[in-house]
C-alpha cells in the first residue's frame, strides 16, 4: 500500500513525486509511455521554477534565450532584450520531464513506465489502481495525466471548466545560428500566435489558437512561416495536440484524490504557458497530500483553494488580456508589442518576475479606449 500513486510523469507528476518522496512518503509514479518520452511542446520554461527545488536544472536546459523577435504577418519586426535576472529556459520535454522524474527517484519515488492505468476503484479508505501490469493500491491519488488523460473523468470530474485549444508543432533539426532569440509571429494566425523556439540542435516551431474561432489550415500557415526561415517542415515530424486552458476557478479535489497539471486545466489563456503552473500545482498537491497523510482532514480542500487563489486570479487577468488582444490583434501589436516597454513586460511575465495582475489593467486601457472608465 503506497501513501500516494501519481498518474502521469509530466512536470506536475514529477514535481509531486519529488516533493512527496522528500517528505519520506512512499510514492509510485505511473507513466503509460516508455521514459524518456517525447511530448509536443514549445518547451519554454520560466526560470522562476528553480525556487521550488533544491537542485540545479542545468542538465535539463537545452539553451537559454534572452531576446524576443516579434513579427506581424512576417514583417514590422520588434526586437527586444528580455531584461530579467535569468533568461527563459528552452527545453526538450523528453529530457526535462525525465530529469525531474530522475530527481524524484533519487528521493525514493518508485517509477513504473510502460504502465497504463485501465481503471480505478475506491475501496472504503484507499484507491485500487488497475494497470496493464496488474493492480496497485494507495491511500491517495494525484491525477496528472494531461489534457487527454481519462483520470479526471474516472474521478467524477465530468464537466471541468476549461477552454480547449488546438496546437500543431514541428520539430526541425537544423543548425541554429542565433540560439538566444525567441521568435513570435502574431498576424498570420487568427486568435493565437506562432512560435519558433531555439534549441541546441534545431527549432520547435508551433502554432496555437487560444480564443475560440473558425477552423484554420494550421499546416499551410506553419509551412509558410517556416519558409521565412528557409526551413522545410514537410520533412519534419509534426504533432497536433489539444491544450486545456484555464477557464474559471473550480473544484480540483475529490475523495482522497486531486487533479494536477493540465488535467487541472492550469494552462495560461494568453500564451498557453503550461510548465510553470503545472509544476506549481504538483508542488501544492504534494504539500496537500502530505498534510492529509498527517491527519489534516481539510488538506485536499485547501489544495483547491490554494490553486484557485494563487493561480486562478492570475489566470483570470491573463484571460481578460487574451480576450482583448486576440480580438484586436493589429491594435494589440501596435499599442502593446510595439510599445517601448511591451516586449520587456512580456519577458518579465514569462520569467515570473511580473504577474498579469500587475499589467493587464494598463494594457487593456491601451487596447480598448475607454476601458475601466
Q: Assign residue 360 a region: left if phi > 0, alpha if psi is -120 to 50, beta otherwise?
A: alpha
Q: What whole-number distance in Å separates Cα of residue 335 and Cα of residue 294?
A: 52
Judged by average pLDDT, the poorest of 9-13, 141-145, 320-324 is 320-324
Q: Across the chain, what does the average pLDDT equal?
A: 93
pLDDT confidence of residue 23: 97
Whether 373 shows a pLDDT value over 60: the answer reads no
CB distance 296 to 26 below 8 Å: no
DSSP secondary structure code for residue 336 in this structure: I
Domains of the chain and CATH, by start: 2-321 (3.50.50.60)
Percent of the chain with pLDDT over 90: 73
Q: What are phi and psi of 293, to 5 degrees?
A: -65, -25
Neighbours of 133 (CB within 10 A): 12
DSSP bridge partners of 130: 119, 135
Neighbours of 185 (CB within 10 A): 23
> Which has the closest alpha carbon to 15: 77, 101, 73?
101
Average pLDDT over every residue of 242-267: 94
Whether 19 shows a pLDDT value over 70: the answer reads yes
Whether 211 shows a pLDDT value over 80: the answer reads no
**Residue 213 binned pLDDT confidence (cut-offs 50, 70, 90):** low
Q: What whole-number distance in Å separates Cα of residue 303 and Cα of residue 281?
A: 9
> Which has the closest alpha carbon to 10: 164, 169, 147?
147
In the numeric block, which cell numbers belong to residue 22? 522528500
Q: What whole-number distance in Å separates Cα of residue 23 and Cα of residue 140?
A: 15
> Which has the closest alpha carbon to 258: 161, 165, 145, 358?
145
Rg (CA), the chain: 20
**Residue 52 binned pLDDT confidence (cut-offs 50, 70, 90):** very high
Average pLDDT over every residue of 6-30: 98
**Residue 370 binned pLDDT confidence (cut-offs 50, 70, 90):** very low
pLDDT confidence of residue 350: 85
Whether 253 shows a pLDDT value over 60: the answer reads yes
> Which has the closest alpha carbon to 44: 274, 348, 229?
274
pLDDT confidence of residue 359: 85
Cell 490553486 belongs to residue: 307
Contacts (Cβ under 8 Å, ≥6 apart) of 71: 77, 78, 183, 184, 185, 186, 187
Average pLDDT over every residue of 184-202: 94
Q: What are phi and psi of 37, to 5 degrees?
A: -120, 145
Using DSSP's 3-state secondary structure scheme, residue 196 falls into strand
In the numeric block, which cell numbers belong to residue 359? 499589467
Alpha helices in the chain (DSSP H): 11-22, 93-106, 151-154, 218-227, 275-293, 299-307, 313-327, 329-332, 342-350, 356-367
pLDDT confidence of residue 372: 44
Whether 371 shows a pLDDT value over 60: the answer reads no
Q: Assign residue 122 a region: left if phi > 0, alpha if psi is -120 to 50, beta otherwise?
A: beta
pLDDT confidence of residue 369: 59
Average pLDDT over every residue of 345-369: 83
For residues 66, 69, 70, 76, the Cα torsion angle rounded to the nearest 10 degrees is: 150
Judged by average pLDDT, the poorest of 1-10, 24-33, 145-154, 241-250 is 241-250
Taking the CA atoms of 301, 304, 307 and 308 in sequence, report the sign of the dihedral they define. Answer: negative
Span 304-318, pLDDT tens digits? 999 999 898 899 999
Amino acid at each position: 500500500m503506497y501513501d500516494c500513486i501519481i498518474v502521469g510523469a509530466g512536470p506536475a507528476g514529477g514535481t509531486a513525486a519529488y516533493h512527496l518522496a522528500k517528505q519520506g512518503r512512499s510514492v509510485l509514479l505511473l507513466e503509460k509511455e516508455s521514459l524518456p518520452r517525447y511530448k509536443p511542446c514549445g518547451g519554454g520554461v520560466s526560470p522562476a521554477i528553480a525556487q521550488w527545488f533544491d537542485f540545479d536544472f542545468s542538465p535539463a536546459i537545452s539553451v537559454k534565450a534572452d531576446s524576443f523577435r516579434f513579427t506581424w504577418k512576417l514583417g514590422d519586426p520588434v526586437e527586444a532584450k528580455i531584461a530579467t535576472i535569468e533568461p527563459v529556459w528552452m527545453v526538450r520535454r523528453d529530457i526535462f520531464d525525465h530529469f525531474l522524474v530522475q530527481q524524484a527517484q533519487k528521493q525514493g519515488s518508485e517509477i513504473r513506465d510502460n504502465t497504463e492505468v485501465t481503471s480505478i476503484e475506491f475501496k472504503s479508505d484507499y484507491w485500487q489502481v488497475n494497470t496493464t501490469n496488474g493492480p496497485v493500491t494507495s491511500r491517495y491519488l494525484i491525477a496528472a495525466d494531461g489534457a487527454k488523460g481519462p483520470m479526471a473523468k474516472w474521478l467524477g470530474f465530468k464537466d471541468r471548466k476549461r477552454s480547449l485549444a488546438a496546437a500543431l508543432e514541428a520539430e526541425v533539426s537544423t543548425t541554429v545560428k542565433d540560439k538566444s532569440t525567441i521568435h513570435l509571429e502574431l498576424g498570420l494566425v487568427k486568435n493565437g500566435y506562432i512560435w519558433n523556439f531555439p534549441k541546441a540542435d534545431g527549432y520547435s516551431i508551433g502554432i496555437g489558437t487560444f480564443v475560440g474561432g473558425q477552423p484554420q489550415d494550421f499546416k499551410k500557415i506553419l509551412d509558410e512561416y517556416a519558409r521565412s526561415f528557409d526551413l522545410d517542415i514537410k520533412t519534419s515530424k509534426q504533432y497536433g495536440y489539444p491544450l486545456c486552458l484555464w477557464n474559471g476557478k473550480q473544484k480540483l479535489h475529490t475523495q482522497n484524490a486531486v487533479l494536477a497539471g493540465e488535467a487541472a486545466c492550469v494552462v495560461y489563456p494568453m500564451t498557453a504557458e503550461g510548465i510553470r503552473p503545472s509544476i506549481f500545482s504538483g508542488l501544492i498537491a504534494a504539500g496537500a497530500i502530505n498534510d492529509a497523510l498527517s491527519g489534516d482532514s481539510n488538506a485536499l480542500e485547501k489544495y483547491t483553494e490554494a490553486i484557485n487563489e494563487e493561480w486562478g486570479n492570475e489566470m483570470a487577468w491573463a484571460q481578460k488580456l487574451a480576450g482583448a488582444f486576440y480580438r484586436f490583434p493589429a491594435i494589440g501589436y501596435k499599442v502593446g508589442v510595439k510599445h517601448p516597454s511591451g516586449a520587456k513586460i512580456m519577458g518579465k511575465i514569462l520569467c515570473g518576475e511580473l504577474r498579469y495582475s500587475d499589467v493587464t489593467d494598463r494594457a487593456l486601457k491601451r487596447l480598448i479606449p475607454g476601458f475601466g472608465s
